[in-house]
């Protein structure tokens, strides 16, 4: 009860201030200590204690990786990290949509830069080496004013890959001008070449390091097909679907709905999950060995269950932590185990990708698998 009350109080503050206070509290150890819940997932050589993770954007500067362990997540993703420090867009740039349980942000890759991130990552890896049972992803992106964004990706992968269990290439933030142009096949191939060149020059020389592409939900179905083809051809591990959207749901009720930036939270669920299901279907038909990380609108055990039903191997969240506080993972995992028990499911791989749309997935989550079969 105390954590709900604290979350309620913090949410009364301006969003960026509230976020900074949350980070400070976590760094100081002011958070619940929870018994680990295991729902194991294996992706290539990565073994996840459970499928639930914190999306990039929460811990931009790799400050609280260790503390996320205690909140019952199986993975976390730091960043987006750029080569040079970057202030981002002018404030205010984060807006809560309280009535919709959503957030609009136009941060613009605000972070302390690669050099500061390396210091934090080195300290973390002294205690928890690569391959530890808590999986760390490093999310990378170019500086806004870079003269050569392809080179930015190479520099970042060269210097950061030794600390990562996997790398995420961010080509999808709506708040960095023209970044989404990298969804185009020729540009995407150049990005992937740059990242792989960087890894080849890194201290780790881990050419098998998993690489994920974080994509936008606002691209066309044909664009998605081309991205999947390119990912497969270049031996990319998988996709993160999805980043925030620039679309605005007609049913939004909050005062801040007209702010520019990327929309996240519950209103993103249907759009991102539709894209997830489509990607899962394409990958199955083509028989590609690509994995899917689902992000967008995950707020409880049923929405997480729906993501898995639509093809997710892993699930990430961020906005729901703002509204529900540090017990969100605990509640989702316990609830999902209850749903699995209800549906007599021993492993989430048994239900992964059996549904091709979020509407049917939520029906199953609400009513049970027996009514669907």
Given the DSSP bridges, would you call strands 94-97 and 75-81 parallel, antiparallel or unpaired? unpaired
pLDDT digits (tens, 9 = 90+) for 225-234: 999 999 999 9
Q: What is the pTM of this model?
A: 0.94
Distance CA 136, CA 154 (A): 20
Residue 127 is part of a domain; what is its CATH number? 3.20.20.70
CB atoms under 10 Å from CB of 27, counted, come to: 13
Q: Provide the domain count of the chain.
A: 1
Distance CA 223, CA 86 (A): 30
Q: What is the DSSP letter of 353?
A: T
pLDDT digits (tens, 9 = 90+) for 149-202: 999 999 999 999 999 999 999 999 998 989 998 899 999 999 999 999 999 998
- Residue (of 234, 310, 235) closest to 269 by Cα position: 310
Backbone angles phi, psi at 351, to 5 degrees: -115, 0
Give the range of the structural domain holding residue 17, as residue numbers without chain letter: 2-371
In this prediction, what percent of the chain has a pLDDT beyond 70?
95
Q: Is 173 a catalytic residue?
A: yes
Mean pLDDT, rounded, of the chain? 91
Q: Which residues of 290-303 are buried (b: 16+ CB within 10 A; e: fewer)?
A: bbbbbbbbbbbbbb
Contact 217, 241 (CB under 8 A): yes
Distance CA 281, CA 168 (A): 22
Mean pLDDT, residues 11-35 taken together: 79
Contact 215, 63 (CB under 8 A): no
Distance CA 285, CA 76 (A): 30
Q: Of 172, 173, 264, 280, which is the active-site residue?
A: 173
Query: Confidence class of residue 5 from pLDDT cuts 50, 70 and 90?
Result: very low
Contact 332, 300 (CB under 8 A): yes
pLDDT digits (tens, 9 = 90+) for 36-91: 899 999 998 899 999 999 999 999 999 999 888 889 999 999 989 999 999 999 99
pLDDT surpassing 90 at residue 8: no
pLDDT digits (tens, 9 = 90+) for 240-276: 998 999 998 888 998 888 899 999 999 999 999 999 9
């Amino acid at each position: 009860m105390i954590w709900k009350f604290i979350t309620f109080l913090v949410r009364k503050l301006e969003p960026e201030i509230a976020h900074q206070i949350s980070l400070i509290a976590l760094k100081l150890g002011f958070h619940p200590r929870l018994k680990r819940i295991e729902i194991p997932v294996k992706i290539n050589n990565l073994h996840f204690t459970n499928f639930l993770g914190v999306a990039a954007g929460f811990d931009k500067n790799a400050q609280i990786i260790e503390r996320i362990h205690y909140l019952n997540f199986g993975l976390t993703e730091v960043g987006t990290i750029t080569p040079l420090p970057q202030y981002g867009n002018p404030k205010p740039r984060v807006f809560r949509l309280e009535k919709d349980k959503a957030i609009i942000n136009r941060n613009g890759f605000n972070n302390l830069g690669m050099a500061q991130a390396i210091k934090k990552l080195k300290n973390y890896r002294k205690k928890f080496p690569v391959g530890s049972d808590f999986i760390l992803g490093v999310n990378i992106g170019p500086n806004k004013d870079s003269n050569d964004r392809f080179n930015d990706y190479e520099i970042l992968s060269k210097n950061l890959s030794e600390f990562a269990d996997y790398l995420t290439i961010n080509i999808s933030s709506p708040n960095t001008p023209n970044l989404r142009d990298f969804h185009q096949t020729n540009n995407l191939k150049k990005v992937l070449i740059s990242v792989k060149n960087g890894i080849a020059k890194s201290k780790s020389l881990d050419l098998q390091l998993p690489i994920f592409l974080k994509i936008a939900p606002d691209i066309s179905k044909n664009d998605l097909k081309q991205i999947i083809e390119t990912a497969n051809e270049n031996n990319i591990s998988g996709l993160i679907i999805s980043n925030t959207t620039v679309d605005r749901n007609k049913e939004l009720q909050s005062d801040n709905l007209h702010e520019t930036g990327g929309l996240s939270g519950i209103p993103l669920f249907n759009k991102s999950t539709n894209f997830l299901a489509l990607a899962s279907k394409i990958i199955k038909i083509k028989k590609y060995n690509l994995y899917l990380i689902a992000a967008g609108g995950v707020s409880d055990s049923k929405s997480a269950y729906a993501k898995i039903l639509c093809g997710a191997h892993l699930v990430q969240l961020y906005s729901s932590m703002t509204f529900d506080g540090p017990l969100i993972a605990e509640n989702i995992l316990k609830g999902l185990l209850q749903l699995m028990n209800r549906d007599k499911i021993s492993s989430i791989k048994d239900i992964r990708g059996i549904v091709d749309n979020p509407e049917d997935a939520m029906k199953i989550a609400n009513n049970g698998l027996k009514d669907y079969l």
